[in-house]
Chains A and B, each alone.
Chain A
Amino acid sequence: MSAVALTPRPARRRRRRTIAGGVGPIGLGVATLWLSVIVLLPLAAVFAKALEDGPKALWDAATAGPALAALQLTVSISVIVALINVVVGTLIAWVLVRDEFRGKGFVNAIIDLPFALPTIVASIVLLSLYGPRSPIGLHLYATRPAVVIALLFVTLPFVVRSVQPVLMELDRDAEQAAASLGAGNRTTFRHVILPALAPALLSGAGLAFARAVGEFGSVVLIGGGIPRKTEVSSQYIAKQIEIDRPVNAAAVSVTLLLIAFAVLLGLRLVAARSQRHEEA
């Protein structure tokens, strides 16, 4: 007995229903509306304002003296912070994964503190140590190092938490193979371990950078906000709004957003490409 093939019924218009667990088109609509109203609409308003007087005006506003100075300062300091984090973050992750000592759990928990701590508290905390009443004689108020320290504080978790899981999952066989082939520790680290960590390092560094360029609360007290010296872009934007120059504020905002987006997008592309290599 073979299968009976009947002439098929013409395809009817089916009511597309979700079957289990999903939220269906209504749920999707609600989510989209929510995201649009909360996130997209406000950002659209910023872009619209920045372009209100035309792209040239945007360019002029973003490259005006103090604005440009703030931007250069912000970007360069953020790059430095990201780089320091790459080194120190890897080191800390290494110690947390490969070393054993009493209180390691506690140390591991502290790493997340900058995530949980309000930025203004970070600022005042650093101020108490490095500000005018510093007990150790380090008076860094309103200096660039102060800004760097503040940003290092808030970006601490990014690289560490990015590298830690990769380090934990690392296949020790590759290291042992290298050792059996005569590679010393430095060589093994440089040629076996580091490449494996590279995607996580990039990702963590990128996140740290994106966070640093937009940082405000932790810098605002200890940085002093001196134009051209310690004023970061976020402070510049806040000031422009205060003195009722919304177009300026919007212009520099757009610049900052584009920089952050570009970095994060670039990271995604690099990550996608390196994943393809790994699967190849």
Chain B
Amino acid sequence: MVVSDRTRITLRVVALGYLFALVVVPLGMILFRTFEDGIVAFWESVTTPASISAISLSLTIIAIVVPLNVVFGLVTALALARGRFPGRGIVQAVVDLPFAVSPVIVGVSLILLYGVGGWFGGLAESGFRIIFSLPGMVLATIFVTLPFVVREVEPVLREIGAEQEEAAATLGASRLQTFFRITLPAIRWGLAYGIVLTVARALGEFGALIVVAGGVSGESQTLTLLVHARYIDDHNTFGAYSAATVLMGLALIALFLMTVLNKKRESE
């Protein structure tokens, strides 16, 4: 339908205004507040021992979570896209479950499972701590990032169909050879996109971690928990802003990568 110029401009202004007020201004605000005292102040704030420790912990979690999600995500995606088995719908639904679960509930569930008095509480008593420690944070992060690789890779697998893989088999390629030479190259952009989403989500996890790990500075405090602690516990507003800016910068990089990868995906 043809909209009058006036209507069109009005709609545009309202839409852009909404986005401006909701997204751009607040983000701009943070940047302003972070850098209004100069870049040195920012730098010092994000290179304190607590901050370095938080950054390193966040990166460690990511370094563990991403490979696990890639391996198991690929297996799951292949099983869903290529397998003929009853209960596919259930598996599909379970993969999507993490989207419907509040992060706090994730944290609670892990405490109930691995905390003292939990189903596997014995582990805690024997010294292998999951709660308030790295394993717990890793498990929580895997929970919330589980769907991404699967959801991005599965449709690509479906779309390209099994023909190329069948052709490779008739030419003598073993299943492993077929996977690395044929399947993986075909899904690379979908996989890359899924990995970027996984990293962004893992970096941003907060609710589950604060429940499961408590955020002990230097020990179980990721960058997100650092932001929270600085604001609430230390009343260090500037410190919170600067840590948040680091996260925001990483999020923008992730967004950029997502845009680039999307274009690559579409052009294939």
Contact = CB atoms under 8 A, between A and B. Distances in A.
B19 A185 contact: no
Nearest to A261: B100
Interface string A69-108: 0000000000000000000100110111011010000010
Given A23-B82, A39-B94, A210-B100, A121 B1 contact: no
Nearest to B225: A120
B153 interface: no
Contacts of B78: 21-23, 27
A210 B79 CA distance: 27
Interface residues of A, number: 91
A76 B11 CA distance: 28
Interface string B1-39: 111100110011011101100111111011001000000
B169 interface: yes
Interface string B162-185: 100110110000010011000100
A120 B97 CA distance: 22
B102 interface: yes
Contact of B76 (A35, A45, A149, A253): A35
Given A121-B227, A125-B29, A238 B104 contact: yes
A41 B102 contact: no
Interface in A163-203: 175-176, 178-179, 185, 188-189, 193
A34 B166 contact: no
Interface of A is mostly: helix
A121 B27 CA distance: 9
B210 A43 contact: no
Interface residues of B, number: 92
B102 A234 contact: yes
A35 B183 CA distance: 23
A188 B7 CA distance: 15
Contact of B22 (A49, A156, A233): A156
Contacts of A115: 197, 200
- Residue among B83, B106, B146, B169 with the highest chain A CB neighbour number at 10 A: B83
Given A20-B169, A238-B207, A260-B100, A156 B23 contact: yes
Contacts of B111: 241, 246
B64 interface: no
A176 B1 CA distance: 6
Contact of A120 (B3, B179, B200, B227): B227
Contact of B23 (A19, A113, A188): A113
A67 to B, nearest CB: 14
Interface in B57-86: 72, 75-76, 78-79, 82-83, 85
A141 interface: no
A152 to B, nearest CB: 6
Nearest to A99: B12
Given A114-B23, A189-B1, A217-B224, A120 B244 contact: yes
A32 interface: yes
Contact of B102 (A23, A117, A129, A213): A213
Nearest to A109: B259
A226 interface: no
Nearest to A22: B82
Contact of A27 (B79, B103, B165): B79
A40 B94 contact: yes
9 contacts: A19-B166, A20-B166, A31-B72, A116-B251, A118-B204, A118-B224, A125-B244, A128-B29, A216-B103
Given A31-B76, A95-B11, A118-B204, 18 more contacts: A20-B178, A21-B82, A21-B165, A28-B85, A45-B113, A91-B14, A118-B224, A120-B228, A121-B227, A124-B231, A129-B29, A185-B1, A215-B102, A221-B232, A238-B210, A253-B108, A256-B102, A257-B105
